[in-house]
Amino acid sequence: MGDQKRESFQAKDEETVVAWGEACSGGNCRPCQSKLVGVQKVYASKAAFAAILHDGSVVTWGDFRAGGDSTIVRDQLVDIQHIQAASSAFAAIRKDGSVVAWGRPDCGGDNDSVPAQLRNVGSLVEA
């Protein structure tokens, strides 16, 4: 894909989501559409989306390199209170104050080296 600009959009209304645009940038949420029910809030990286549902679970779609695939942390994405998007990663704060991250490791998608420091976290900021 090189330096090509890829774009996609999403719209949320009445707790449902519709996406359009470049499919590889999150413009196609049809594969996970049935899971996008009871959507509380949607967050975007440069080529992926993450939605918090009312039950505290998370649904992701888009470019797997930008956080669109959260399979590796799926079991940890429960009781999510907030998500912070970075360019190609996401970090989520759980109800217990712990943090779950996924996406490109060099963009913040891997917090395995600092788990002890990520307790009782109240907020996250993209840097």
Q: Tens-digit pLDDT profile for the chain (127 aa)?
A: 344 445 566 556 666 787 777 887 888 787 888 888 889 999 999 999 999 999 999 999 999 999 999 999 999 999 999 998 999 999 998 998 888 989 988 887 777 766 655 666 666 656 5
Residue 124 inside a domain? The answer is no
- Tell me the CATH number at 60: 2.40.10
Residue 119 inside a domain? The answer is no
Residue 121 inside a domain? The answer is no
State pTM to two decimals: 0.80
CA distances from 110 to 12, 33, 74, 101, 105 (A): 28, 27, 14, 6, 5
72 and 91 Cβ atoms separated by less than 8 Å:
no
Radius of gyration of the chain (CA): 14
Could you give the number of structural domains in the chain? 1
Residue 85 inside a domain? The answer is yes
- Residue-number span of the structural domain to which 62 is assigned: 39-107
Residue 15 inside a domain? The answer is no
Residue 83 inside a domain? The answer is yes
